[in-house]
């Protein structure tokens, strides 16, 4: 958006994104803390019954991220997509915008299903409860901005509203993308722990493709291996080996032993002086 010259729209989207992302981190931190630092959403479920207030804040944040109408995320995301539809840009970039929006809705609905709707799969002795008063007050202030901040900010940032003129099908593309992404997220959430679908047969092939056709072994690892090995040998043999024993460590031990010996003498100075006086008397008279 910034590259197209719409600096105000980019700044507006950054503000709206900051609003519900701040609420996201607070809600996610409370849930992770309640789950004894467990971050695997497959172990969560039915959180709306255990922590209703935090769960409500979490769901509103998710819907704002998806671009639900009249929430903070709707005013920036819908405006960006419709502005891109009116711009003269590459069709590939235009398609990527809508695909990324659909993927956002997909993983958001998957997250909502696993954490709020699905069965609780963790230990039964967990005692889950809402966060403290300070956290709830902070999230309560942010939820007000997430709900009403978009409608208020859009009149403060833009002096004149954007004029969007699109055909009916292109106007409905945003809604269709959200619905299709939500459906894909629901299908993804149905995959269980012991899923044995046919897609797992292509696991080795997908692992090979995701490894960038072994280019990392041929380029990065092949270049850096010998330098890392030389550094490890230098560190173990010289830096932490003979130079440490003969140099700094030996000097430290020598100075430490001499200092402790002199300190013992200073602690026993009266006995030492009396002993010297006795020796001097013996030498003088005998």
Q: What is the pLDDT of residues 88-109, one digit of tens each?
A: 777 888 888 888 888 888 888 8
- The encoded tokens of residue 30 equal 């409370």
Summarised one tens digit per residue, pLDDT across range 165-217 is 888 888 888 888 888 888 887 887 776 545 555 555 666 666 666 666 666 66
Extract the tokens encoding 44: 């969560």
pLDDT at residue 286 in the model: 66
Alpha helices (H) in the chain, listed in sequence order: 7-34, 47-50, 52-66, 72-86, 91-112, 133-157, 168-189, 203-210, 215, 221-233, 243, 249-267, 269-285
* pLDDT tens per residue, range 115-159: 888 777 777 656 677 777 888 888 888 888 888 888 888 888 887
263: Cβ contacts below 8 Å, ≥ 6 apart: none
pLDDT of residue 141: 87
pTM across the whole model: 0.61
pLDDT of residue 201: 61
Mean pLDDT throughout 253-280? Answer: 77
Annotated domain spans of the chain: 2-195, 214-285
Say how far apart CA 198 and CA 204 lie, in whole Å.
13
pLDDT value of residue 200:
59
How far is it, in rounded angstroms, from Cα 112 to Cα 186?
9
């Amino acid at each position: 958006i910034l590259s197209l010259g719409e600096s105000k729209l980019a700044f507006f989207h950054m503000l709206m994104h900051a609003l519900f992302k701040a609420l996201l981190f607070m809600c996610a931190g409370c849930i992770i803390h309640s789950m004894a630092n467990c971050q695997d959403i497959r172990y969560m479920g039915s959180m709306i019954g255990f922590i209703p207030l935090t769960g409500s804040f979490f769901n509103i944040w998710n819907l704002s991220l998806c671009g639900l109408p009249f929430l903070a995320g709707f005013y920036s995301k819908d405006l960006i997509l419709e502005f891109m539809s009116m711009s003269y840009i590459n069709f590939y970039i235009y398609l990527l915008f809508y695909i990324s929006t659909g993927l956002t809705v997909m993983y958001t609905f998957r997250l909502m299903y696993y954490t709020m709707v699905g069965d609780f799969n963790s230990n039964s002795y967990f005692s889950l409860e809402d966060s403290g008063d300070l956290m709830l007050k902070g999230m309560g202030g942010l939820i007000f901005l997430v709900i009403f901040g978009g409608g208020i900010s859009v009149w403060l940032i833009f002096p004149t509203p954007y004029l969007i003129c699109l055909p009916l099908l292109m106007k409905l593309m945003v809604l269709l993308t959200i619905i299709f992404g939500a459906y894909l997220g629901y299908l993804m959430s149905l995959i269980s722990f012991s899923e044995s679908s046919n897609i797992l047969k292509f696991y080795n092939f997908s692992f090979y493709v995701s490894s960038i056709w072994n280019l990392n072994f041929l380029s990065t690892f092949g270049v850096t291996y010998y330098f890392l090995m030389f550094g490890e040998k230098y560190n173990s043999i010289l830096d932490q080996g003979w130079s440490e024993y003969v140099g700094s460590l030996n000097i430290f031990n020598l100075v430490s032993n001499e200092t402790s010996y002199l300190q013992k003498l200073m602690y026993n100075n009266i006995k030492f002086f009396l002993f010297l006086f006795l020796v001097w008397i013996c030498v003088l008279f005998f």
